[in-house]
Amino acid sequence: MSGHSPEAIKKEVRTYVAVFVALAVLTVLTVGASYLKLSLGAAILLALFIASVKGTLVAAYFMHLRTEKKIVLALLVLAVIFFVVLLFYPSWHHL
């Protein structure tokens, strides 16, 4: 949230619209990609990559993580570490 002056907010609004367009395009892209006859592995990687890009856009711009304070970012890094551990360890049960 840079300054609260009217032009700063106007600029912010323009970025929000730009991000919206990007998200819409990426959605169409990911749906399109599902019609390509890719192997399951490749499809997973591609779909998750596109979803991650969309997610980062929402998080950075809409959720203002781009300009967020250190303490919130530290909290999120901690949550993401345990998220990844929780995501993969159970399915590696047989390793």
Partner 1 sequence: MSHDASHGHELPFWRKYIFSVDHKVIGIQYAVTGLLFLFFGFCLMMLMRWQLAYPGQPLPFIGNLFSETAMIGGIMLPEFYNQLGAMHGTIMVFLGVVPLAVGGFGNFVLPLQIGAPDMAFPKLNMVSYWLYFTGGVLMFASFFVPGGAAQSGWTSYAPLSVIASSGQTWWLVGMAFLINSSLLGSINFIVTTVQLRAPGLSFSRLPFFVWSQFVTSFLLLLAFPPLMAAAVLQLMDRLAHTSFFMPSGLVVNGQVLEGFAGGGNAVLWQHLFWFLAHPEVYVLILPAMGIISEIIACNTRKPLYGYKALVWSVVFLGFMSFIVWAHHMYLTGMGPNLSAFFQVTTMIISIPSIVILTTLILSLWGGSIRFTTPMLFALAFLPMFGIGGLTGLPLGLNAADIHLHDTYYVIGHFHYVVAPGTIFALFAGIYHWFPKATGRQMNNFLGKLHFWPSFVLMNFIFMPMLIQGLAGVSRRLYDPMQYAHAQPTQPLNVFISISAWCLGLAQIPFIVNFFWSIFKGKKTDQNPWQATTLEWTAPSPPPHGNFVKEPVVYRGPYEYSVPGQKNDFWPQAMKENN
Partner 2 sequence: MSEAGLIKHISHPHPVTGVTNSKLGVWCFLASEVMLFGGLFSAYILLRTGVTDWPRGHEILNVPLATLNTMVLITSSVTMVMAWASLQMKSLSKYRLYMTLTVLLGLAFLVVKAFEYGHKFEHHHFPSTDNFYATYFTLTGLHGLHVIGGIVVNLYFLLFGVKMWEKEPDQLAGRVEAAGLYWHFVDLVWIFLFPVLYLL
Residues lying near partner 1 in the complex (CB under 8 A) are found at 71, 78-79, 82, 85-86, 89-90, 92-95
Asked if 1 touches partner 2 (CB under 8 A), the answer is yes
- CB of 48 or CB of 79, closer to partner 1: 79
The DSSP string of 48-61 is HHHHHHHHHHIIII
Task: Work out what residue 80 binds among partner 1, partner 2, none; the CB cut-off runs from 5 to 8 Å by kind.
Answer: partner 2
Q: Cα-Cα-Cα-Cα dihedral of 50, 51, 54, 60, to 10°?
A: -120
Evaluate whether 46 touches 32 at the Cβ level (below 8 Å).
no
Question: What values do phi and psi take at 4, rounded to 5?
Answer: -100, 15
Interatomic CA distance for residues 84 and 46, integer angstroms: 19
What residues line the site for partner 2 (CB under 8 A)? 1, 4, 6, 9, 12-13, 16-17, 19-20, 23-24, 27-28, 30-31, 33-34, 40, 43-44, 47-48, 50-51, 54-55, 58-59, 61-63, 69-72, 75-76, 78-80, 82-83, 86-91, 93
